[in-house]
Homo-oligomer: A and B are copies of this chain.
């Protein structure tokens, strides 16, 4: 799973702040957009309607290396760092051409709705694991 999925995007005006650059919280949304694009490329969706499975985040972290500005085009590279029984760990690199903008990680846990309505950590369904591994290897 060393290969990476790439998501391409342009900075929108509302994502900038008074310092003239992309607000750091928007960078975390870029990670999520790339994650969900990778799921779609795998024939999956993170939010299947009427499913009892969910994917809350356990953690998210970014180190910022260079600023991004309005209308610049950039890529988010996604790598599946670990696909465990119940958790999914991603590594991300945001680049603008040859310039690294940020590097980071996110971890999600698979949860399943219990009969009493609460969510509880659950095994990642085999079909999801297999499809994510396939797209990570193919891209």
Secondary structure of the A side of the interface? mixed
CB distance from A105 to the nearest CB of B (A): 9
Report the bound CA distance from A14 to B70 in whole Å: 15
Which residues of B are found within 8 Å of A28, using beta-carbon distances?
24-25, 28
Q: How many copies does the complex hold?
A: 4
Residue of chain B at shortest CB distance from A28: B25
Tell me whether B61 and A62 are in contact (CB under 8 A).
Answer: yes
Interface size class of A (residues with CB under 8 A): 35 or more
Tell me whether B47 and A19 are in contact (CB under 8 A).
Answer: yes
Report the bound CA distance from A115 to B17 in whole Å: 23
Interface assignment of A46: CB less than 8 Å from any CB of chain B: yes
Tell me whether B25 and A32 are in contact (CB under 8 A).
Answer: yes
Report the bound CA distance from A25 to B62 in whole Å: 12
Tell me whether A17 and B19 are in contact (CB under 8 A).
Answer: no
Given that A36-B71, A57-B64, A58-B63 are contacting pairs, would A13 and B24 also be in contact in the complex, using a CB cutoff of 8 Å? no
Tell me whether B71 and A64 are in contact (CB under 8 A).
Answer: no
Report the bound CA distance from A36 to B19 in whole Å: 15
Which residues of B are found within 8 Å of A63, using beta-carbon distances?
58-59
Residue of chain B at shortest CB distance from A103: B59
Tell me whether B12 and A36 are in contact (CB under 8 A).
Answer: yes
